[in-house]
Structure 1
Amino acid sequence: MPRHHSYSLSDEKVAELVFRQYGVKITPEQIAKAYAPEQRMSWKKSIEVARFITGMTLKQAKAWLEDVVKLKRPIPIKTYKKKQAHHAAPWRGWPVAKWPVKVARRYLQLLENLENNAKFKGLDADRVVIVYAAAHKGYRIPNIMPRAFGRATRFDEQTVNVEIVAAELPKEVIPKRYKLNLVKR
């Protein structure tokens, strides 16, 4: 059962964050939030996806994550990359990349929820930009894995609390497209 939650950023802090990043003052009516508690998915991959979609518009993030689900585009892995395969891929700056399909599906559901929340508040979905995305560890679901000779090993399942905050920005400061350093071969 999900426990009580609260967003980690208040509307005032979101407005301050938007002003620092984009130089635009916004009101609390221009902010939309979405929260998904206790999701059964990888916490580390959730952090990487949250970091990657921050700064994108809703359409850009949804299009990219749909391509991740179809295994067409990867998500860069920047923090948890020890002993991970390095790819000779056509992008520069992040040779470690993965296709976290399960995480991308959950984020797509959350982005759909965020878009509906924005439309309910009367925001223009084309001008909504993700200004904050975070994944926090949830509670552990205890499990036991049977072993040989009557032994057992504890095997807990980690859950993740994901939150996304978006703001409606003027057309002048909206990112036109998400830039990747693609190498032409």
Structure 2
Amino acid sequence: MSKVEYSAKFDPATTAKAMAYELNVSPKHCIEILREIKGKKVTTVKTFLEDVIEKKKSVPFKRFNRNVGHKRHQTGWDAGRYPVKACGEILKVIKNAEANAEYKGLDTENMRIIHAASKKGHVTRGMMPRAMGRATDWNIETVTVEVVLGEGEVR
């Protein structure tokens, strides 16, 4: 595994970072979730992600919304889904970043997500046998998720 850097530089005295490498979740789901939580307070984000996991709230899909059903309880956007697996993994990263902030002595009650991004990870190649001696690619995409908490403004 190669070394993965954060996509932006931050002041280590006022921020706390966390990253998860090569998660086996959907890249599209991660992009939509991280877009939704960026700039919000950590306590609000944790309750939102827990509600998505329990399927009480949905994540609005604004970019990857082709053939995505509408959700009645959403306001401001119609298309949405409940990406349970991706929300669970991102919630772990946020809790890790919050623990890092607490270890540094930062005020975790007023922390916001100032940076949230996902990158493509390693692709595990696979093949599915077909008829007549042919085969179809059956690859597994992975995602690297990075979250930065801080008291400053959102990037």
TM-score scaled by length of structure 2? 0.92
Quick check: which has more Rg, 1 or 2? 1
Using the alignment, how far apart are the partners of 1:118 and 1:92 within structure 2? 32
Contact kept, 8 Å, 1:123 with 1:168, in 2: the verdict is no
- The answer for the alignment partner of 1:164 in structure 2 is 147
Matched, 1:83 2:67: yes
1:47 maps to which of 28, 31, 39: 31
- The answer for the alignment partner of 2:5 in structure 1 is 6
CA RMSD in angstroms comes to 1.5
- In the TM superposition, residue 168 of structure 1 has moved relative to its aligned partner by 2.9
Contact kept, 8 Å, 1:41 with 1:102, in 2: the verdict is yes
Gaps of 5+ in 1: 12-26, 174-185
Gaps of 5+ in 2: none
Matched residues, percent identical?
A: 37
- The answer for the alignment partner of 2:89 in structure 1 is 106
Contact kept, 8 Å, 1:33 with 1:164, in 2: the verdict is yes
Using the alignment, how far apart are the partners of 1:138 and 1:31 within structure 2? 25
| Structure-to-structure mapping, 1:27-66, within 5 angstroms | 28-66=12-50
Contact kept, 8 Å, 1:145 with 1:155, in 2: the verdict is yes
Contact kept, 8 Å, 2:21 with 2:145, in 1: the verdict is yes
- In the TM superposition, residue 152 of structure 1 has moved relative to its aligned partner by 1.8
What SS does structure 2 have at the residue aligned with 1:117?
A: helix
Using the alignment, how far apart are the partners of 2:51 and 2:74 within structure 1? 16
- In the TM superposition, residue 112 of structure 1 has moved relative to its aligned partner by 1.1
Matched, 1:132 2:115: yes
Aligned residues: 153
Contact kept, 8 Å, 2:17 with 2:100, in 1: the verdict is yes
What SS does structure 2 have at the residue aligned with 1:92?
A: coil
- In the TM superposition, residue 136 of structure 1 has moved relative to its aligned partner by 1.0
Using the alignment, how far apart are the partners of 2:26 and 2:42 within structure 1? 22
Using the alignment, how far apart are the partners of 1:9 and 1:100 within structure 2? 26
- The answer for the alignment partner of 1:178 in structure 2 is none
- In the TM superposition, residue 91 of structure 1 has moved relative to its aligned partner by 2.8
What SS does structure 1 have at the residue aligned with 2:13?
A: helix
- The answer for the alignment partner of 1:144 in structure 2 is 127
TM-score scaled by length of structure 1? 0.78
- In the TM superposition, residue 145 of structure 1 has moved relative to its aligned partner by 1.2
Contact kept, 8 Å, 2:52 with 2:87, in 1: the verdict is yes
Regions of 4+ moved over 4 Å: none
- In the TM superposition, residue 138 of structure 1 has moved relative to its aligned partner by 1.0
- The answer for the alignment partner of 2:57 in structure 1 is 73
